[in-house]
Amino acid sequence: MATSQQRQQGESVEYVSQERASKAGEGRPRRGPYVLLAMVLIAVIVAASWELLSNRRSTTDPTVPGRPLSNPETHLHTLAIGDDGRSLYLGTHFGLFISHDGGKSWPQTRGALAPAMVTSIAPAHGDPNLLAVIAVPSGIGSEQPGVYMSRDGGRSWRLSNPPHLPSSAYPFSVQAGSGPAGHFYAFFVYAGWYETTDLGAHWRPITSGALSAMQTPLFLTDPAHPHHLLLGGDQGLFETTDDGNHWQRIQGINGTVLSLTATQTRPRLIFCATDEGLYRWQDGSKQITHLSGPTPNASLTRLVSSANGQALYALAGRDLWFSADQGTSWQKRFTFSRSDLMTLQLSPVQSTLLYAAFFYPASVLFSQDGGRSWQVLTD
């Protein structure tokens, strides 16, 4: 049985233990409120970042509905035309825009693949649902650069780059082939040309060595012979008849190739502009004619030909020229007020309908009278 003194000692020990526990509790930080505050701050930062990203993305949209180039911060990289002559494609600083009525309406409120830049466009021949583009980051998003493929006319996309590309490879251009559905060619700087026949599921290189290093290359396919290709650039003009397994330089073409075009006749009539002149020959012939061209002091940087070859247009500086006799004689049609023309295109179904795409301020002009007069299609 505990004595009075023992009870007092026990109560004293208990009091000291409680006091130590209380002091220990006072020294320990109270984590609950700080953790909650940190979570709130993180949530605020995430919300603010999302709002900022949303606002930045929204600033890439056209400022005027139905006018894809109305955003003052955009610029125009390229313009392409579908086989039907009514489907127009604009590759801008903020995505891809498509019109299926000759540019009368542009239904997209935001460019496809925006905010990425679309720098090259290749509608497939014979199937408007198959489409390939080159897209690269514009500085706002984090899209991976490369070839993007669509099976549904641009509503959805899939990135499809050739495997084992060197780290320095950069996508430059894409072009539709003339083989089966899904046939495309793509050029990567520091890597060369690649071919796919199944919409990017598989790729194979068709150039190597010096041809892969060709600067600003131009590519011409043959609708009647899918394995027949022309490749031109700073090293001259080359030809293959076995789909890139072997290439031969075409003798008689001097200088850096600046533009290539051909008629759709059989045999085709091919036109090649270089910094040393204009050349013309029949497909399969070794006889190449060196033409004087419309101006002796200015190289032709753009060539477009009608399917039958009765209309040939060329750009020299800001001047647009026309030839009705396959480049033998020329008439000056127009002088543009700007020097930043990116693309000159001729409708595949109307030899007097031309389109001119300008970089910045972004604008597309069209002419219905063979280049004599021009109107704004969209800006």
Condensed to tens digits (0 to 9), the pLDDT of residues 26-83 reads 444 444 555 444 544 554 443 334 334 444 445 899 999 999 999 999 999 999 999 9
Options 1.20.1740.10, 3.40.50.12780, 2.110.10.10, 3.90.950.20; CATH for 230-335 is 2.110.10.10
What is the model's pTM? Answer: 0.84
Domain locations in the chain?
A: 65-205+340-379, 230-335
Query: Picking from 136-140, 349-353, 373-377, which range would have the lowest pLDDT averaged per residue?
Result: 136-140
252-256, long-range: CB within 8 Å, 24+ apart, which pairs? 252/279, 252/286, 252/288, 252/290, 253/279, 253/288
183-186, long-range: CB within 8 Å, 24+ apart, which pairs? 183/124, 183/226, 184/122, 184/124, 184/132, 184/147, 184/149, 185/219, 185/221, 186/132, 186/134, 186/147, 186/162
What is the pLDDT averaged over residues 234-238? 96
The amino acid present at 376, given as its one-letter code, is V
pLDDT at 374: 98
pLDDT at 211: 96
Band the pLDDT of 350: cuts 50, 70, 90.
very high
210 pLDDT higher than 80: yes
Tell me the range of 17-26, 145-154, 294-303 where mean pLDDT is highest. Answer: 145-154
CATH second-level architecture of 65-205+340-379?
Answer: 7 Propeller (2.130)
DSSP string, 300-311: EEEEEE-TTSS-
104 vs 24, which has greater pLDDT?
104
Give per-residue pLDDT as tens, 254-294.
999 999 999 999 999 999 999 999 999 999 999 999 998 89
pLDDT at 112: 97
pLDDT at 34: 54
What is the pLDDT averaged over residues 8-25? 42
What is the pLDDT averaged over residues 305-325? 97
pLDDT at 59: 87
223 pLDDT higher than 70: yes
Distances in whole angstroms, Cα of residue 367 to Cα of each of 248, 280, 307, 312 = 38, 26, 18, 15
Q: Is the dihedral of CA 8, 9, 10, 16 positive or negative?
A: positive
Mean pLDDT in the chain?
88
> 115-131: buried (b, 16+ CB within 10 Å) or exposed (e) per residue?
bbbbbbbbbbbeebebb
pLDDT at 142: 75
Give per-residue pLDDT as tens, 138-182.
988 778 999 999 999 999 999 999 999 999 999 999 999 999 999
